[in-house]
Amino acid sequence: MPIDTQEPSDAKVRIEEARFLADASAMLASSFDYRATLAAVARRAVPVLADICVVELVEAGTLRRLAVAAADPTRVAGAELDVAAGGELAARRDALQTREGVLADAGARSTMVVPVVARDALLGVITLIAAESGPRYSRASLAMARDLAVRAAMAIDNARLFEREQRAIRAREDLLSFVSHDLRNPLMGILLTIETVLRAGPREERRKGWTQLERIQRGALQMQRMIDDVLDLASLDAGRLIVDAAAYEVRHLFDDAFTALEPQAAAKAVSLRFEPPALGVAVRCDRARVVQVLSTLVGNSIKFTPTGGSITVRARPTAGQVLFAVSDTGPAVLPPHRSRIFERLWQANADARKEQGLGLYLAKGLVEAQGGTIAVDGAGGGLTFSFALPIVPAPSAHTPRPAATDAARRDPDVTS
């Protein structure tokens, strides 16, 4: 039988209401399959709140029946006629128009109709009917039914948001699959062909198309770097970035980065100076990832440093860490904007140095994934990017340096 809320002081009624709402909340929160949980709540409402409970949801702009529960199982088949009979139809119409719960009496029957609304959108309707032998619903009953509708709305809204997020994730995975295979494979073919042509044939023949081929090669390497950045970004966001950490001497890391970056700096007539620490200073890191970070930071400085400017890369041990610093003589970034310089696709239109890519965002993620920190400072002109990694005992002098991984061989010519 439905509870009689006309006696607000009745402790038993209050306990029954609280128990039902607690059970309903647990059901609705137990799964993102809100259709199944709403059907379970409708069954739980009978006979605690009603002799008949009907749940309808808005789908494709139309109210569709989701669940019907009745105290008398023989009445389930006729519940649709029950809802459309007497005052129930008018109450349902009023509830939809006003977005407010409605009480209605139809002869000996008592009805409550409450809309399910989330963020001003009508998601559905819950109808509760007390049979002839039951008590009349009151405003206290209606308040409790509204509470139920609020919980149902939250469950539906959260589930639909989750469904949209899952669709977006699947779409991103499909795109990454396309990028990593369908684009990367032909690009590698282009690069290998260019390299073969540059190395083959008589010297005089090679000189004729040398400049054009190198231009094509730089463009292909730029595309490869962009693909790698997208894949790294996806790995960072998903928490699946692979970090192969070991002890590496900082001087060796500097040698790798200088070899890759010096031609780029020379092409722009920018002085590039590396100042490594003393022999024996090592960090625990992923060698390829650190070279990638240095390439991004130095490449970024080359991009914004005017011809004739200079870039200095230093490293020094301090307080259990090794602090790497990349300083340039390019334009400064205003202090209010420096805190945002590592944000994804951030751009400061007011500054001469406009950052609008993924490079610095990825550099931050790569450093933090190795247990380090990264920062930027503009005191004294230009910019200084710095990052710190844990210091460790230097590896044995007899330990051979590992071969470069695919990530280490990425072309540093393109920066964010």
9-47 per-position pLDDT tens digit:
466 767 887 888 899 999 999 999 999 999 999 999 988
10 Å CB burial of residue 275 (0-12, 13-18, 19+) is: exposed
Inter-residue contact 28 to 34 (CB < 8 Å) = yes
Task: Locate 191 and state its tokens.
Answer: 């690069």
Superfamily, domain 11-164 = GAF domain (3.30.450.40)
Q: What is the pLDDT of residues 54-108, one digit of tens each?
A: 999 998 888 899 998 988 776 655 555 455 544 566 677 777 777 888 887 765 5
Q: Is the pLDDT of residue 346 over 70?
A: no
One-letter identity of residue 381: G
User: Where along the chain do its domains lie?
Assistant: 11-164, 165-238, 246-393
3 state SS of 10: coil
Q: Which CATH architecture has domain 246-393?
A: 2-Layer Sandwich (3.30)
Strand 52-59 to 384-393 pairing? unpaired
With cut-offs at 50, 70 and 90, classify the pLDDT of residue 110: confident
Q: What predicted TM-score, i.e. pTM, was given to this entire model? A: 0.55
Mean pLDDT of the chain: 80
